[in-house]
Structure 1
């Protein structure tokens, strides 16, 4: 009996646990679409596009110096962890005239990690307001056209997030002022969307090889 119990504990239970979690990833491993087809930033900067990219999208506003802490949190907790994944980019939209402030920020961020996947778009204020409105969230830009929240955009330019979150509603974005929120929520959601596309890629490759 003891030998049987030991064998079950060592071999059977791990397999059962693996199957349980594997099925969970298959059935629940997709991040919900909250807003479809938000549009492309290429309308503001032809050198950058959301199409066919997984994008972390942010709006730093004119008060970039006050947003440095937010940018560092995002850089350390999310970017540094995931930037080596293919097709992942970080896009920040800022008002025109912020170029010098952004250069300073990029220099400071670059001391910590290679920031080759940080992109900054300089846009007119009406265009920033229009684009943010297209996200159709329950959030708002401040008077400087910034927000501490960042958003996950998939390759089809859909806004991804959480439905029926612990707050009882939808979670459209993640507060970069909160390290806990980045660690406890955003890390998991970025993992989910990256896994979703990896699984789709493997499936497509398997079909091609048949």
Structure 2
């Protein structure tokens, strides 16, 4: 009996695990592009005067508006569920867009609330005029709109070529689905849908790296 258990652990479990993960990878589909080549933010103000750019980064993009503290709970959800998973990934970043003049609120958020959660590596806050933010957001061509404070609870996935990615078409059950952003209010949406879609983006990125590496070796 013990011998059979040992054999099961040594030989059967690794095969089952392999098939599980392999089937997960094979079920990945390319995450559709919602908007191509969204504008850059590299000319906007930052807290430390360092340039923040979307190009060549996998970015979680958010719009916080004038009432920063109102969104503390949303920050916590995003931090714990998405950011903690990818914070050590070299080309991953979070970019939050805010109206100029909210810098003090952001510093308070960083030094008190986010500091309690842990590192804030890869967290970036950019500031622009209300007109600039509205113009930028309109160029994303989204169904959802900013509220009167220039905020939305949704965050968006931007790939390294500055394409906004999401879901459109039919899901695996054949049900029509359109998703341009992910609500930071709904933990279930972040954990189930955004986490899955981030896995696809990361998988695409790693597959491209491997392909380029193999091409270089052949040369």
Whether TM-score is above 0.5 comes out as: yes
Partner Cα separation in structure 2 for residue 195 and residue 19 of structure 1: 13
Deviation (angstroms), 1:169: 3.7
Aligned position for 2:55 = 51
Query: Can you give the 5+ residue segments of structure 1 that lack an aligned partner in the other structure?
Result: 1-5
Q: Is the CA contact (8 Å cut-off) linking 2:43 and 2:51 kept in structure 1?
A: no
Change over 3 Å in CA distance of 1:99–1:206 after alignment to 2: same
- Picking from 136, 140, 143, the partner of 1:135 is 140
Q: 1:22/1:91 Cα in 2 relative to 1: closer, same or farther (>3 Å)?
A: closer
For 1:22-171, what aligned pairs fall within 5 Å after superposition? 22-25=25-28, 28=29, 30-45=30-45, 47-107=51-111, 108-164=113-169, 168-171=176-179
| 1:44–1:127 contact (8 Å) kept in structure 2 | no
Matched residues, number: 202
Match of residue 197 from structure 2 = 189
What CA RMSD, in Å, does the superposition of the two structures yield over aligned residues? 2.4
Q: Report if aligned partners of 2:33, 2:165 keep a CA contact under 8 Å in 1.
A: yes
SS at match of 2:94: strand
2:37 and 2:163 in contact (8 A); partners too: yes
1:176 maps onto 2:181 in alignment: no
- Mapped contact 1:161–1:170 kept (Cα < 8 A): yes
Q: In structure 2, what is the Cα distance between the partners aligned to 1:84 and 1:19? A: 24
* Partner SS for 2:212: helix
In the alignment, what sits opposite 1:3?
Answer: none
| Aligned CA distance change for structure 1 residues 104 and 208 (closer, same or farther; 3 Å) | same
2:3 aligned partner: none
Tell me by how many angstroms 1:142 deviates: 0.3
Q: Deviations over 1:132-166 (max 9, x none)?
A: 11111110000000000000001111000011366
Q: Please list every run of 5 or more consecutive structure 2 residues that lacks an aligned counterpart in the other structure.
A: 1-6
TM-score by length of 2: 0.84
Quote the Cα distance in structure 2 between the aligned partners of 1:72 and 1:65: 12
Residues 53 and 89 in structure 1, CA contact (< 8 A), matched pair in contact too: yes
Aligned residue number for residue 216 of structure 2: 208
Following the alignment from structure 2 to structure 1, what is the Cα–Cα distance between the partners of residues 213 and 115?
Answer: 36
User: Within 2, Cα distance between the matches of 1:109 and 1:133?
Assistant: 29
**CA deviation vs aligned residue, 1:41-92 (integer Å, no higher than 9, x gap):** 1132470100000000000000111111111111111111111101000000
